[in-house]
Structure 1
Amino acid sequence: MDPHLLHEPHHDGSALHLDPETPAPGWPVTVRLRTWVGDPVEAVWLRTTYDAEPVYHRCAEVARDDAEESGGEGSVWWEGELPVHNPVTHYRFLLAGADGRQRWLTAAGVVEHDAPDAFDFRVSSHAPPPEWGREAVVYQVFPDRFARSAAADQRETPAWAVPAAWDDEVVFEGSDPRTPLQLFGGDLDGVVEHLDHVAALGVSVLYTTPVFPGESNHRYNASTFDGVDPLLGGDDAYQRLSEAVHERGLRLLGDLTTNHTGDTHEWFREALADPEGPGRGWYCFRADGSYECWMGHHTLPKLDHTDPGLRAAMTEGPESVVARWLRPPYDVDGWRIDVANMTGRLGATDVAHDVARTVRATAQAQRPDALVIGEHNHDASSDLDGDGWHGTMNYSGFSWPVWSWLRDEESPARAFGRPLPVPRRPGPLVARTMREWTARHGWRATTWSWNILGSHDSARIRTLVGSPEQHRVAAGLQFTLPGVPMLFAGDEIGLEGVNGEDARRTMPWDSPEAWDRTTMETYAALARLRAEHPALVRGGLRWAHVDDDTLVYLREHPAGSVLVCARRAPGGAVGLPAAALALPALDGAPARPVGDPAPLLATEGEPAPLVVRDGWLEVPAGGAGVTVWRL
């Protein structure tokens, strides 16, 4: 039969392997490990650290499939008690073999050397993020480019702006001074008018980039945090948007820049005007009167989060910016934090995690179920552990590996912050990348982080992959791997863009004939599938088969498992041992073997059935696409 990965020892942070998923401090957690019945494991220990001192806890064998009845493909289940002494508890498994062989199982996989703790499994006793954040399908709107209401025609264009007609081409070269100034005039009432389109996609969270005034089309250079930009309709329009979103049972997420303001911000003008005033310490001024700013852009002066006055105004307490917008009449449900990776970091100063902890606590003091997501495009692990951001925009653990698997080598799409194009990589490297980043970020943070195929800061996925079919493969991965799908408005109809600025094209509401309806229907079908199957939201992840062009994986959950096959190119059938797919007897009932698998969805054509024959499950041959089955 075909090579598969189901003989590998397996554990993850889902309910099948960790009970409870969210422990109270001081209480033990039941931890389960699955090994292959043919793997001569004689003993298993949990290695954890108690106040940073390594300690070992023996695991017990609690279930074993009969090797003969299972054709030698069954499982052995081990259980151990993991004490949750520290707020974030790291652990790994030590496997002892009959031949004296010793192996470690970490969250990044099995190793036969003493690997560092960075890839250990971890469990947190901090309060979990709100469940709606994990269940979400997020839709990102860049207000200037989404939709114009009739009221937009009555507004005067500000002096800083370069006005553009809705169908004009976007100026997207960063060296062109018009790039941040080109104003198309989208507004918040325009968003309200198109919420039916958003809801029809199965979206549950509307996330808009900043709505505060700023002398740019992106508004990340805020001139105040005390009101909504009149160009978007002002405070009243934001209230109308909030009411319309919540009436539909959706959530509204704001976008807040904690790293910097604009140089026209009232705080910064006061700091410039009075070098001896209390507001001077709110920014990172140098001895010569100059100031630190974001990536050398003088219009984006950096905030100093070591200053108590700045913290009180921005992040701490009920009157802070973080808190005020979460109360009526706006009722924002949480924040996406812009430049979260740099906030509070400057040279030897690093209070970034303290800022994350403070924002989270302040938001949840206003709304106990508030969500905070930090922008980060590389290793966010130190800001996510325990009580930091609930999750991140998962570029490293999702976007980049998907891009590298599906990239059309002829695509003009530009790499995100790299001097070279994203390379096209084979399946094993893609799976390894995802596994390592899941280990680095931790299971909880991974499952609340956003699976993004692109954003207002990157090329569009359609341009990167070069075809509707490959775009739908990417969407299939986005909705079936652990994490929260986030669509950038226009993804669903096949909008293109070679970089972040070009990706901010206007929504072609008056040209519906140009929409990719098949892809739009695929997104809606994937959202329905995710809502209907707990395994796709709360299930574990076990890799079953990986080759250059094929990824087959299981999302396992006590309520039932889902099998996914993603192909970037046509491939042959893949055989998997059915006994290795059975769920364990967690409640004293018999183990649940694979019964009659049901096809659920295919991104191309009709989903072909799985065939179980002689103890083997056959994933059928097929072309490029993603197919999902219920086991």
Structure 2
Amino acid sequence: MTDLLGRPHHDGSPLYLSDEAPHLGSTVTVRVRTSADDPVTRAWVRTTYDAEPTYHQMAREGDAGWWSGGLPVHNPVTHYRFLIEREDGSQTWLGAAGEVGYDGSDTFDFKVVAYAPAPDWARDGVVYQIFPDRFARSAHAGDRETPAWAVPADWDDTVVYEGSDPRTPLQFFGGDLDGIVDHLDHLADTGADIVYTTPVFPGESNHRYNASTFDHVDPLLGGDKAYQRLSSAVHDRGWRLLGDLTSNHTGDTHEWFQRAREGGETRSWYYFHDDLRYESWMGHHTLPKLNHTSDELRRVMIEGPDSVVGRWLRPPYDVDGWRIDVANMTGRLGHIDVNHDVARIIRATAAEQREETFVVGEHNHDASSDIDGDGWHGTMNYSGFSWPVWSWLRAEETDARPFGRPVAVPRRPGPLVRQSLDEWRARYGWRATTQSWNILSSHDSARIRTLVVDAGVHRVAAGLQFTLPGVPMLFAGDELGLEGVNGEDGRRPMPWDHREAWDSATLATYGSLAALRRRHVALRRGGLRWAYVDDDSLVYLREHPDETILVAARRAPGPAIDLDLPTGELLLSTTGDERGFAGAVPAADAPAFALWRLA
């Protein structure tokens, strides 16, 4: 598949779209790149005006193969695609998933969005996810009394990770918030500048997704004062802090639910049946589901400055935004669906309390109906990034278990992976994709090192994470080569006292990739144009008006790849190869990742 550079191309980056957040009623300029040898004679941009198709003819820009035209922004989310006619009279459509020779649905249309984008810090940064119980103990962690619900564990104990074992959510290692403060220099080594912790509210579990209150930080983590110290330490470095909020449910020990079960004023905040049964998350009775059709619940939970969402964003905590747990299920139950209302209110409440807030929703399959509007800015992009990358780089033999599926992660060739990446990016829209998180591991998944096994392949995965459109999100320990066969096993404590076990080369790769992403605007805001794909190679361009960067990822050894592109200066190679780009991606005798800045 050597002719990808010659295909017509458009995306939502600045080289192709004049304004990513235009005002309603304005007109933006859209551009299409075609090969100078492609006999295109005419082109139109087709959009929909209140769901009725309209066509706007484009003009050729000189003789270089570029076409441009005006796109009226009539709706808050305006869909568009391109109709291309060639000398022989043939017609094709160019949509966000590529060029097709048939009249397809609007599913893969491009989108331009009139709502304000996510703040720059959230799109340009690097997220570091911390599971507080397993990250680090401060000097004061041992002074706290172990709660009655917990099964105490020493820091080097083996994690109990089988869901059927009752100790799994109760095993307590005792990490705390001051322990995070003590290790912020390590986060700096990875290049991270956004600290995201899983919940800090009290809950009778090590994961704390079963909150017993939203009014205070768990004393086991150091309490409210410790969270203030963490916030100050993070912001003193010019970084950002994200909280984790379960808008879908509480714990069954939550003060609201306790009053509700007794017939109190909060009963309508949950879904009770006549026989005292109640709705819960996926049937887990310890996680009763919140009823967001209740105006009073919305007032207390998500709406206004004194709501849970609002007050943690103000001093003394100054949280910069929220990751919303189970965002896909929030406000949805059978025939009830107020999910978008909840997302819109949370985003508006956050913006009213603090400038430049960010709200990202957890969603592990198709989030396309929930993003690219005025709700969640983006999603944890398992479908559009994790699954394609996992399926390309998965080792032939691995103990890693996929979450949510009954079979192992498949191993797929490059062309299928490229198609998957393209279709998901098209489904979400360019801007929502660039505001979503590129995830290799999380507290809910197997570790990337266990999935790929080989350290060199892990570094290829990291390269894709930092150079494909989207925001890199590291799960604490990935940078050291930590392992885990599933999400629970992946929550192993950080090995601070065993530095001999660290994969220092991988840690250095993460730091270098983060520095390059910060330095080169094309890696943050540039477009994505494929140059070459085969079973074992993915080669692409990140294009921006200021620069173009060539990226080459190989999962296995391979020959040189000839490309008709300008020469380029090497920016990074995971194999130590020091060759620049001179018309060909160098041959590789091992899995490799490299990028060059083209002249």
TM range (shorter): over 0.9
Determine the structure 2 residue equivalent to 1:586: none
Determine the structure 1 residue equivalent to 2:93: 104
User: Does the CA contact (< 8 Å) of 1:4 and 1:576 recur in 2?
Assistant: no
Determine the structure 2 residue equivalent to 1:603: 574
The alignment status of 1:265 with 2:254, answered yes or no, reads yes
CA shift, 1:288, in A, is: 2.4
| Aligned positions of 1:53-92 closer than 5 A | 53-65=52-64, 76-92=65-81
The one-letter amino acid paired with 1:627 is A
- For the residues of structure 1 that align with 2:238 and 2:575, how far apart are their CA atoms? 31
CA shift, 1:24, in A, is: 1.2
CA shift, 1:468, in A, is: 0.6
The alignment status of 1:618 with 2:589, answered yes or no, reads no
- For the residues of structure 2 that align with 1:150 and 1:535, how far apart are their CA atoms? 43
For 1:520-542, what per-residue CA distance to the aligned partner results, in whole angstroms no more than 9, with x for missing partners? 00000000010110000000000
Determine the structure 1 residue equivalent to 2:21: 22
Range 359-368 or range 218-227, more displaced: 359-368
The alignment status of 1:140 with 2:129, answered yes or no, reads yes
The one-letter amino acid paired with 1:621 is A
The one-letter amino acid paired with 2:383 is S
Query: What secondary structure does 2:544 align onto?
Result: coil
The one-letter amino acid paired with 2:577 is E
Determine the structure 1 residue equivalent to 2:112: 123
CA shift, 1:260, in A, is: 0.3
User: Does the CA contact (< 8 Å) of 2:372 and 2:378 recur in 1?
Assistant: no
CA shift, 1:608, in A, is: 1.9
Gap runs ≥5 in structure 2: none
- For the residues of structure 2 that align with 1:304 and 1:63, how far apart are their CA atoms? 59
CA shift, 1:285, in A, is: 1.3
User: Does the CA contact (< 8 Å) of 2:17 and 2:31 recur in 1?
Assistant: yes
For 1:541-593, what per-residue CA distance to the aligned partner results, in whole angstroms no more than 9, with x for missing partners? 00110000000000000010100000000111111223xxxxxxxxxxxxxxx
Query: What secondary structure does 1:150 align onto?
Result: coil
CA shift, 1:272, in A, is: 0.5
For 1:451-486, what per-residue CA distance to the aligned partner results, in whole angstroms no more than 9, with x for missing partners? 000100000000000111110010010001000001
The one-letter amino acid paired with 1:233 is G
User: Does the CA contact (< 8 Å) of 1:4 and 1:546 recur in 2?
Assistant: no
User: Does the CA contact (< 8 Å) of 1:470 and 1:568 recur in 2?
Assistant: yes
The one-letter amino acid paired with 1:3 is T
Determine the structure 2 residue equivalent to 1:557: 544
- For the residues of structure 1 that align with 2:551 and 2:110, how far apart are their CA atoms? 24
- For the residues of structure 1 that align with 2:2 and 2:139, how far apart are their CA atoms? 60
The one-letter amino acid paired with 2:244 is D
User: Does the CA contact (< 8 Å) of 1:414 and 1:459 recur in 2?
Assistant: yes
CA shift, 1:287, in A, is: 2.9
User: Does the CA contact (< 8 Å) of 2:372 and 2:431 recur in 1?
Assistant: no
The alignment status of 1:13 with 2:2, answered yes or no, reads no
Determine the structure 2 residue equivalent to 1:591: none
CA shift, 1:385, in A, is: 2.2
Alignment length, in residue pairs?
597
Gap runs ≥5 in structure 1: 66-75, 579-593, 612-616
The one-letter amino acid paired with 2:291 is D
The alignment status of 1:327 with 2:294, answered yes or no, reads no
Determine the structure 1 residue equivalent to 2:508: 521
- For the residues of structure 1 that align with 2:189 and 2:391, how far apart are their CA atoms? 30
CA shift, 1:519, in A, is: 0.4
User: Does the CA contact (< 8 Å) of 1:473 and 1:568 recur in 2?
Assistant: yes
Determine the structure 1 residue equivalent to 2:286: 299
User: Does the CA contact (< 8 Å) of 2:42 and 2:58 recur in 1?
Assistant: yes
User: Does the CA contact (< 8 Å) of 2:210 and 2:286 recur in 1?
Assistant: yes
User: Does the CA contact (< 8 Å) of 1:600 and 1:607 recur in 2?
Assistant: no
Determine the structure 2 residue equivalent to 1:289: 276
| Aligned positions of 1:301-380 closer than 5 A | 301-380=288-367
- For the residues of structure 2 that align with 1:428 and 1:445, how far apart are their CA atoms? 24
Query: What secondary structure does 1:381 align onto?
Result: coil
CA shift, 1:289, in A, is: 2.0
User: Does the CA contact (< 8 Å) of 2:400 and 2:450 recur in 1?
Assistant: yes
Range 617-626 or range 470-479, more displaced: 617-626
- For the residues of structure 2 that align with 1:235 and 1:146, how far apart are their CA atoms? 18
- For the residues of structure 2 that align with 1:174 and 1:374, how far apart are their CA atoms? 24
The alignment status of 1:225 with 2:196, answered yes or no, reads no
Moved over 6 A (4+): none
Query: What secondary structure does 1:577 align onto?
Result: coil
The one-letter amino acid paired with 1:135 is D
CA shift, 1:63, in A, is: 2.4
CA shift, 1:114, in A, is: 1.1
Percent identity of paired positions between Structure 1 and Structure 2: 69
- For the residues of structure 2 that align with 1:234 and 1:518, how far apart are their CA atoms? 36
